[in-house]
Structure 1
Amino acid sequence: MRTVFFYIRTRRYGCFFCWAVWALLLGIAMPTAAQVPDTTVTPSAQPLAVVQDSGYVIVRNVAVSGNKKTRTSIILRELPIKPGDTVYLRTLAETLEAGRKQLLNTSLFLNVSANVKNWEGQQADFVYEVWERWYLFAFPIFKLADRNFNQWWVEQKRSLNRVNIGVKAFQDNLTGRNDDIYADVTVGYTQKFLLGYNLPYIDRKLRQGLGFVVSYSRNREINYISDFNKQQFFRQDDFLRRQFALGLNYTYRKAISTRHQVALNYYHESVNDSVALKNPDYLGGGRTEMGYLELSYRLNYIKADSWQYPLVGQSLYAEATRTGFGPLSGLEYFKFRVKGAKYWELARKTYGALSVLGQAKFSDKQPYIGMRAMGYGDDYLRGLEYYVVDATSYFIFKSTLRRELLNFKVHLPIVPKKFSNLPIRVLAKAYGDMGYGYARRVRNGMLNNRMLYTTGVGLDVVSFYDTCIRFEYSINQLGEKGLFLHAKLDM
């Protein structure tokens, strides 16, 4: 295995940019089992010569089978073909596969097969058979309170005091309309109650939806400030922080790939007096409580082979948010956020991906809780998991090269037949990230207001519902190296 690094030095930043190219990925060609999930496409029940001579087929009916819980109208709404459509034979297999993948992207089904039946002249029926998954889940919660596994394992020394335990329950597809209700009750590091419901379609045309979420949480320990790009924590026996949130959202989805959402959220934050004494800027101006209203518009566009673990396609997310209205103006700012990603198949079983994320917040003078930027949630550079960059504006660029190594199924005994085959895909990857975070005021921020670079190699293990476990060995511009474990998609 040979790794080539390109170093670029600039007088302005005094940093280097590491770009790793894993040449071996382009040369590996391993035999694999059937693709996950299986593809079943039967384009014709007529003699092949007859079909080829016709040139096209007219969709007489679109039929669905196998759905016991999901309403047929919900399934038909996701398909790109309708009765009366004309499909050219040269694109027939592609059209069937696009509909099959779109149904899998709803996360309602374990598998889908697509067939063309009942050929009569130039007309035929398109039939989709679905295998529904389990929709009701209730399971115990064992969740780390820290930002990622490595921070908990290394910096917090695997402390069980920093773990949340509880119960999570959710019923997907509650009424057969792809709606879901969910609830969390946790104790431990954070005591929290959460209840939410989403109904994607409330009209006959299946375009408009509504949802709500309400939550209350409290903590005895609080991240009250950052120093040298490290979170600093303060703990007492009394509860130091309490947060209440109530949110309502309206969605509009006319087509398949694009979704619009308007959300109105109310937040109320309160902290103990000792927090305001240690950092008067935590809520700003030495305050111990505040409430604020937030109004957001969000645009989601995705056209990819998989919405959960895309390898081919593109996606776009855009958000405009106004926080602070009248008396509910504990926080005040305008925020603009854009994230775009492009995914390619470069060669057989070899995939490339690029993504860019940018956020700007006005004004740039915010209290500490309004400065959360890189290192929180999914906004981080691979290789800088131990650090945070508090900022009002920032961008992150990521590039990844993936190569599929294995694709197989494992038979699980005892469990019901339709769940007994566990699909597993293993992909090797090389990656390089860069980013920049701007802050008007910093506290010993060695990573603020400067270009940041990281690179590395790793493995992704993908299974049911496109769940992904990532093993990554990264190096950052500080010269620090490490093995990192994640359980979410990296871009």
Structure 2
Amino acid sequence: MKNRMATYFFLATLIFLSSELKSQEYMFISEIKISGNKRTREEIIIRELPFKRGDVVRASDLPLLLLEGRNNIRNLSLFNLVLVYNNTERLDPSEKYGNTEIVIQVEERWYYWPMVGIILEDQDFGTWIKKPDWSYVTIVGGLKVNNIAGRNQTLRAVLTTGFNKGFFFEYSNIYLDKKGKHLLDITFKRAYTRVENISLISDLPFHIKSDSSFLKSSYSTTLKYTFRQGLHLRHNLTLDFSYTEIDPVILKQNPDYWGNDQTNRRAYSFIYNFVFDKRDYIPYPLRGLYLSSGITGYTSNRRDVIHKKVSGDLQTFCPLAGGFFASARVHGAISSTNVKGHVFNRVIGFDENQLRGYRRYAFEGQNYVVASPEIKYRIVPETRFHLKFLPFLPKFNKVHLAIYGKLFGDIAYVHNKYYSSSNTLSNTLLKNYGLGLDVAAYYDITLSAEYSVNHLGEGGFYFSLVKPLR
């Protein structure tokens, strides 16, 4: 209720502002005041505004500028609540210019998150608990810290031990200049795995497992440079070096696993992409546009394995009347490799690139395209609850959420020049449709329940928890 009142207050302010500003054609921004940022530096917030102190803007443009500024600040994922409004001096209506003061109020989030997980590699929990065997358990422990020193930087450090081993370290969003136009991410990764996906059989990922030794060990170092050209446009350049060793049993079972018969490889990757992102709320957008495109180059140090890829992603979001919202996404990629290699042809069903209605399947190919239209209906508007029985958790006792129903469909096509009689879903038009329910909550969390049916007539429920993006 409190959050709804805040929204009404914000809209009422904009309406009042519009009527007040009709008398002045231009507004002079005399001051920008920020409160609630106990940790976050002011320049991190001011950097997201489409105006600055001392600017003169058209009075008719100011309401939309305030809304854009609020969306940009909220998309930092640093605050649970963001209010942006203005106080305007009452002047003689005959005056062409008016003075206005911008007020920004924020409530900061909790920034320290433990990263803990226990993975049973061989059995489900019910079977394992009857006869526990810790040699088949992978334990993950680490820490994620957001907004380090109030500069919107993120640190992740994770250690994995047990059946699989490794560590992961990332320090991201490092500002290289005072204006925040140049940023750097640094990542180090070391991994030892006893389970590896080596091919597809019957359109399903085929894994092999070793109890006695690691099938794959690797380490990599990644540097990502970002140039922020404007509020919504970024250019990213990523350089990666990796060294990988695999067990000969992988090549014995699939000689086309990674393009040659060597059991170790040093490799270099180059990725450039640009991102234009003007969505109102990145974790669960209802209005706006997202566009990205990039090129990827990969080569082994001997240059006997070369992989190239061009990819693109377009997303549009538009509110309709009566609480309805429409969205559409089209994304795909075109790639070329001078050798046949399973690791280069994994396009859908691997990592986070999933296709609704086909989540149990995986697809190999060199080129693919997916189109995904969707209609949402707002069942419960964004509402804020104050959990008074948790006064000792001020960062968590103010919960806000919204509930949406949705109808969706997907049309996809994966082209694979390496035909296999055991994998028939590639080179076939893939279609699915379904309905679902989303709960968009605070801390960028979305709970989703979906039911979908694919072109094979297979239907099923799918539940997911979409974690924060940062």
TM bracket, shorter-chain basis:
0.7 to 0.9
| Cα separation, partners in 2 of 1:50 and 1:357, compared to 1, 3 Å | closer
Counterpart selection for 1:448 from 426, 437, 441: 426
1:390-405 equivalences under 5 Å are: 390-405=364-379
One-letter amino acid matched to 1:315: Y
Extract unaligned runs of 5+ from structure 2. Answer: 92-97, 126-131
Question: Which residue of 1 is the match for residue 175 of structure 2?
Answer: 201
Question: Which residue of 1 is the match for residue 164 of structure 2?
Answer: 190
Aligned-residue offset at 1:487: 2.2
Q: Please tell me whether residue 85 in structure 1 is matched to residue 55 in structure 2.
A: yes
Question: Which residue of 2 is the match for residue 23 of structure 1?
Answer: none
Query: Which SS does the other structure have where 1:98 is aligned?
Result: helix
Q: Please tell me whether residue 70 in structure 1 is matched to residue 46 in structure 2.
A: no
1:126-275 equivalences under 5 Å are: 126-142=102-118, 164-188=138-162, 190-237=164-211, 238-275=213-250
| Cα separation, partners in 2 of 1:48 and 1:195, compared to 1, 3 Å | closer
Q: TM-score, normalised by structure 2?
A: 0.88
One-letter amino acid matched to 1:456: G
Aligned-residue offset at 1:287: 2.5
| Cα separation, partners in 2 of 1:188 and 1:411, compared to 1, 3 Å | farther
| Cα separation, partners in 2 of 1:50 and 1:462, compared to 1, 3 Å | closer
| Cα separation, partners in 2 of 1:145 and 1:118, compared to 1, 3 Å | farther
| Cα separation, partners in 2 of 1:380 and 1:73, compared to 1, 3 Å | same
Aligned-residue offset at 1:382: 0.6
Question: Which residue of 2 is the match for residue 426 of structure 1?
Answer: 403
Aligned-residue offset at 1:43: 4.3
Counterpart selection for 2:76 from 85, 89, 106: 106
Aligned-residue offset at 1:47: 10
1:105-124 equivalences under 5 Å are: 105-117=75-87, 119=89, 121=91, 122-124=98-100
One-letter amino acid matched to 1:436: Y
Aligned-residue offset at 1:394: 0.9
Counterpart selection for 1:309 from 260, 284, 300: 284
Aligned-residue offset at 1:470: 1.2
Aligned-residue offset at 1:35: 4.1
Residue-by-residue CA offset, 1:297-341 (whole Å, 9 max, x unaligned) = 11111101111211110101111111116x354641111010110
Aligned-residue offset at 1:222: 1.6
Partner Cα distance (1:465, 1:277) in 2: 46
Partner Cα distance (2:255, 2:215) in 1: 14
Aligned-residue offset at 1:344: 0.7
Q: Please tell me whether residue 438 in structure 1 is matched to residue 415 in structure 2.
A: yes
Partner Cα distance (1:271, 1:130) in 2: 50
Q: TM-score, normalised by structure 1?
A: 0.84
Aligned-residue offset at 1:89: 4.0
Aligned-residue offset at 1:61: 1.7
Number of aligned residue pairs: 447
One-letter amino acid matched to 1:269: T
One-letter amino acid matched to 1:67: N
Extract unaligned runs of 5+ from structure 1. Answer: 1-31, 147-151, 154-158
Partner Cα distance (1:82, 1:280) in 2: 60
Instruction: Give identity over the alignment, percent.
Output: 26
Of stretches 114-123 and 424-433 in structure 1, the one that deviates more from structure 2 is 114-123
Question: Which residue of 1 is the match for residue 355 of structure 2?
Answer: 381
One-letter amino acid matched to 2:365: A
Residue-by-residue CA offset, 1:372-400 (whole Å, 9 max, x unaligned) = 11111232321000100111111111111
Q: Please tell me whether residue 367 in structure 1 is matched to residue 341 in structure 2.
A: yes
| Cα separation, partners in 2 of 1:189 and 1:485, compared to 1, 3 Å | farther
Of stretches 86-95 and 460-469 in structure 1, the one that deviates more from structure 2 is 86-95
**Larger RCO, structures 1/2 (Cα 8 Å, 6+ apart):** 1
Aligned-residue offset at 1:143: 6.3
Question: Which residue of 2 is the match for residue 321 of structure 1?
Answer: 296
Partner Cα distance (1:50, 1:139) in 2: 50
Aligned-residue offset at 1:40: 4.6
| Cα separation, partners in 2 of 1:145 and 1:202, compared to 1, 3 Å | farther
| Cα separation, partners in 2 of 1:277 and 1:49, compared to 1, 3 Å | closer
Task: Check whether the contact 1:118–1:124 (CA below 8 A) recurs between aligned residues.
Answer: yes
Aligned-residue offset at 1:189: 5.4
Q: Please tell me whether residue 287 in structure 1 is matched to residue 262 in structure 2.
A: yes
1:320-339 equivalences under 5 Å are: 320-324=295-299, 327=301, 329=303, 331-339=305-313
Query: Which SS does the other structure have where 1:485 is aligned?
Result: strand
| Cα separation, partners in 2 of 1:145 and 1:396, compared to 1, 3 Å | farther
One-letter amino acid matched to 1:69: R
Partner Cα distance (1:88, 1:244) in 2: 54
Query: Which SS does the other structure have where 1:311 is aligned?
Result: coil
Aligned-residue offset at 1:108: 1.2
Partner Cα distance (1:232, 1:36) in 2: 53
One-letter amino acid matched to 1:409: R
Query: Which SS does the other structure have where 2:89 is aligned?
Result: strand
Of stretches 275-284 and 160-169 in structure 1, the one that deviates more from structure 2 is 160-169
One-letter amino acid matched to 2:201: D
Partner Cα distance (1:142, 1:87) in 2: 55
| Cα separation, partners in 2 of 1:94 and 1:285, compared to 1, 3 Å | closer
Task: Check whether the contact 1:389–1:448 (CA below 8 A) recurs between aligned residues.
Answer: yes
| Cα separation, partners in 2 of 1:47 and 1:328, compared to 1, 3 Å | closer
Q: Please tell me whether residue 477 in structure 1 is matched to residue 459 in structure 2.
A: no
Question: Which residue of 2 is the match for residue 352 of structure 1?
Answer: 326
Task: Check whether the contact 2:367–2:416 (CA below 8 A) recurs between aligned residues.
Answer: yes
Partner Cα distance (2:338, 2:201) in 1: 19
Aligned-residue offset at 1:94: 2.6
Task: Check whether the contact 1:114–1:128 (CA below 8 A) recurs between aligned residues.
Answer: yes
Residue-by-residue CA offset, 1:231-263 (whole Å, 9 max, x unaligned) = 112112111111211101111002110111111
Partner Cα distance (2:202, 2:20) in 1: 72
Partner Cα distance (2:461, 2:137) in 1: 22
> CA RMSD for the aligned pairs?
2.8
Question: Which residue of 1 is the match for residue 95 of structure 2?
Answer: none
Of stretches 381-390 and 186-195 in structure 1, the one that deviates more from structure 2 is 186-195
Task: Check whether the contact 1:189–1:221 (CA below 8 A) recurs between aligned residues.
Answer: no
| Cα separation, partners in 2 of 1:168 and 1:35, compared to 1, 3 Å | farther
Aligned-residue offset at 1:481: 0.7
Partner Cα distance (1:482, 1:401) in 2: 20
Task: Check whether the contact 1:315–1:341 (CA below 8 A) recurs between aligned residues.
Answer: yes
Question: Which residue of 1 is the match for residue 129 of structure 2?
Answer: none
Aligned-residue offset at 1:418: 4.7
